[in-house]
Amino acid sequence: MLRKEHKVSNITSEAIFAIPTMKPSKVLLSLTFCFLLILTDINYKSSEILRAYGKDMLIPVIYIAKTPVFIFNTVIDFFNTRQDLRFTIKALEQENFKLKSMNSLMNEISFENKRLSSLEDSIDDNPDNYYLVKKKFLSSNDLKPVMTISVNSQEEVFAKNNAVLSEKGLIGRIVSQGLLNAEVMLVQDSRSLVPVVSSTSRLHAILQGSGLSRLGHLNNIKKSAEYKIGEELYSSGLGGVYPSGYPVAKIKTIKDNTDNEFLDIQVAFLQSPVDQDYFLVKKNIQVDE
């Protein structure tokens, strides 16, 4: 028995079991330390420097967490019987037949594609400015979602404020970079502000997120502004943080409340990172220049 775990009664010499709890003074000291950490983070953004490097250290934990699922899938694959494989072959043959019949149709589409690719070539954008990255982790706080992506610190593409894109448009920007990880603040984050321009009315605005699976909103829009429901919003590139011309969201509702001097415009984001694994990082040329 450890010395701390009991006292001995002076009267009866019996053991009195009283485990001392944390000292309130120590608790207060640690709470003050935590408050200091929080205040430093709020005022000086200290965690933006530390977090990605800290996450580098936590990589083994993330990989260990994925290992059981990987082993389970491998075992399932291994024990697939011959019968299962026959069924698979039969299904694939049917799929092949369908694909052959579709192929004739594709010839026509490929002609259209050639025209489009020539159009794409005409755009003066270097493919070296893009880099494919994989999602590693998505934070569990859906109000302030932060996505972690795997990076190679030697690549020039990975730097703070570089835009992260998906096939549907803008996803967010890098806020913290480590050796093997980078953190991406998503456009759905309530802290994120994206300068946007509408597709048809060509009006500029600031788009703010409200969390994942929620509608975002346009800030301080005058009542005279003529936005339309269903209009797409593209990044305007103002401020030089986000690149211009990428689709971000679509206008969902426009409300004109009498008690508000601004319009209440809610927008739906085009892409959620929850069900997507791969993204593109674009080098921010405007900032470099």
Q: Contact 276/260 with Cβ under 8 angstroms?
A: no
- Smallest gap from residue 205 Cβ to another protein (A): 16
Closest to another protein by CB, 23 vs 82, is: 23
Closest to another protein by CB, 48 vs 232, is: 48
Spatial distance between the Cα atoms of 248 and 215, rounded to a whole number of angstroms: 12
- Smallest gap from residue 93 Cβ to another protein (A): 31
- Smallest gap from residue 99 Cβ to another protein (A): 28
Q: Give Rg (Cα) of the chain.
A: 27
Q: How far is CA 85 from the centre of its chain?
A: 38
Residue among 208, 192, 211 at smallest CA distance from 141: 211
SS3 (DSSP) at 287: helix
- Smallest gap from residue 227 Cβ to another protein (A): 21
Spatial distance between the Cα atoms of 163 and 170, rounded to a whole number of angstroms: 7
Closest to another protein by CB, 21 vs 154, is: 21
Closest to another protein by CB, 40 vs 80, is: 40
- Smallest gap from residue 49 Cβ to another protein (A): 10
Spatial distance between the Cα atoms of 186 and 143, rounded to a whole number of angstroms: 11
Give me the residues paired with residue 146 across strands: 185
Closest to another protein by CB, 169 vs 178, is: 178
Interface contacts to another protein, rule CB under 8 A: 1-2, 4-5, 19-22, 24, 26-27, 30-31, 33-38, 40-42, 46-47, 50-51, 54-55, 58, 61-62, 64-66, 69, 135-144, 146, 148, 183, 190-191, 208, 210-214, 274-275, 277
Residue that is written with structure tokens 């794409």 in the block:
120
